[in-house]
Amino acid sequence: MLRRLAAQKEPRLLVVARAAKEALVHVRSLQAARTAPPPAVKAGARPARTGEPMRTIYDAESAEVLPGRLVRKESEPPTGDPAADEAYDGLGSTHAFYAAAFGRDSIDGAGLPLDATVHFGHLYDNAFWDGKQMVFGDGDGEVFGRFTKSLSVIGHELAHGVTQYTAGLNYRNQAGAINESMSDVFGALVEQYARGQSTEEASWLIGEGLFTDKVQGVALRSMKAPGTAYDDDVLGKDPQPDSMDAYVRTTADNGGVHINSGIPNRAFCLVATAIGGKAWEAPGQIWFDALSGGSLPPACTFSRFAKATIASAKELFGDDSHEHDAVRAAWETVKVKA
Ligand code: ASN
Ligand code: ZN
């Protein structure tokens, strides 16, 4: 998506092209940070009470510096800046989700303090986890608004941290697409949990509300119907496949990590739909156990991942369970051999 925006030549879109180029250059340097071993946390920097979040929000004031000026610490009142306050609330919702759904204390399971920087860069077109903290841009204003607007995006970025601390999946090819899909799955679940939505009520969209009203599209991605989130003159059409029949072989986007993630995304959505109810319960637990159970190699394939989810469904619910059947059927529908 950013590559396409970066190539825009129309005068109205020059600012967008510039913003996209800038974000693209930056994203390349992230991979290294994300695959490096997680940093040690300073002694005494953990929250005072276990199970409580410890959030710190900084403002980069349109520079590309981290962390920036401190604007809000844990338990302090709102700043009045929507970006800072949405980041604070989004980190809180994400922390609450992992605690409630999986009994996990923060991103690393050991109370990791959650830091975020808002107003990163000038018209910066992305949000990311840099291996240590969250970073949010304001968007270019033509295509993207500010990236803190979407709770599924905040949940997505923080899930990159969870993956880093658990399976440590590579950010390339199928392992990278699983890494991306994990972030979409837990990003969607953070939002569904915060809204109290069941599988049937949920939109299964990632990044709803990020586009300006000039864009023909509803979100960055649709987990329920990959490939249908947008179809726009400037952005083009959503390139996600919804089964292995349409798997995209490309060297762009680290081997299509944001493209082929549509396949495992739909598998999760199918599992949730077959099981019904709250998707962070049985379906979320099955996926979380597969991610954190220690059986996934860093270069995991779709097939290996599918096997791991089937094994964790069996372990949690038994061989003859509806859950176990639902997981097997979902991978069959998206044509991943397990
Ligand atoms: N927002 C993007 C993501 O989390 C940034 C990136 O690293 N490509 O996937
Ligand atoms: Zn991601």
Phi and psi (nearest 5°) for 190?
-60, -45
Smallest CA-to-CA distance from 266 within 285, 284, 249, 241 is with: 241
Q: What is the pLDDT of residue 24?
A: 86
pTM exceeds 0.75: yes
**Rounded Cα gap, residues 7 and 337, in angstroms:** 37
Active site residue 258: yes
Q: To test ligand 1's pocket by mutation, which of 5, 35, 157, 163 has the most ligand atoms within 8 angstroms of CB? A: 157
The atom of ligand 1 lying closest to the CA of 183 is: 4
Helix (H), strand (E) counts: the chain:
11, 9
Strand partners, 231: 237
The atom of ligand 1 lying closest to the CA of 30 is: 7
Active site residue 142: no
Give me Rg for the CA atoms of the chain: 19
Strand partners, 37: none
Specify the DSSP element, H or E, that contains 134.
strand 134-136
Place of tokens 């979380």: 288
Per-residue pLDDT of the chain (338 residues; tens, 9 = 90+): 999 999 999 888 989 999 998 898 887 666 656 666 666 666 556 776 778 999 999 999 999 999 999 999 999 999 999 999 999 999 999 999 999 999 999 999 999 999 999 999 999 999 999 999 999 999 999 999 999 999 999 999 999 999 999 999 999 999 999 999 999 999 999 999 999 999 999 999 999 999 999 999 999 999 999 999 999 999 999 999 999 999 999 999 999 999 999 999 999 999 999 999 999 999 999 999 999 999 999 999 999 999 999 999 999 999 999 999 999 999 999 999 99
Q: Whose CA is nearest to atom 5 of ligand 1?
A: 128
Domains in the chain, start-ordered, CATH in brackets?
Answer: 2-165 (3.10.170.10), 173-333 (1.10.390.10)
Q: List, as one string, the DSSP characters of 37-78.
A: PPPPPPTT-S-SSTT---EEEEE-TTSS-SS-EEEEETTPPP
Helix (H, G, I), strand (E, B) or coil at 96: helix
Q: Whose CA is nearest to atom 3 of ligand 1?
A: 128
Question: Which residue among the candidates 22, 157, 180, 323 is catalytic per the annotation?
Answer: 157
| CB-CB contact of 87 with 129 (8 Å) | no
| CB-CB contact of 334 with 309 (8 Å) | no
Q: What is the pLDDT of residue 270?
A: 99
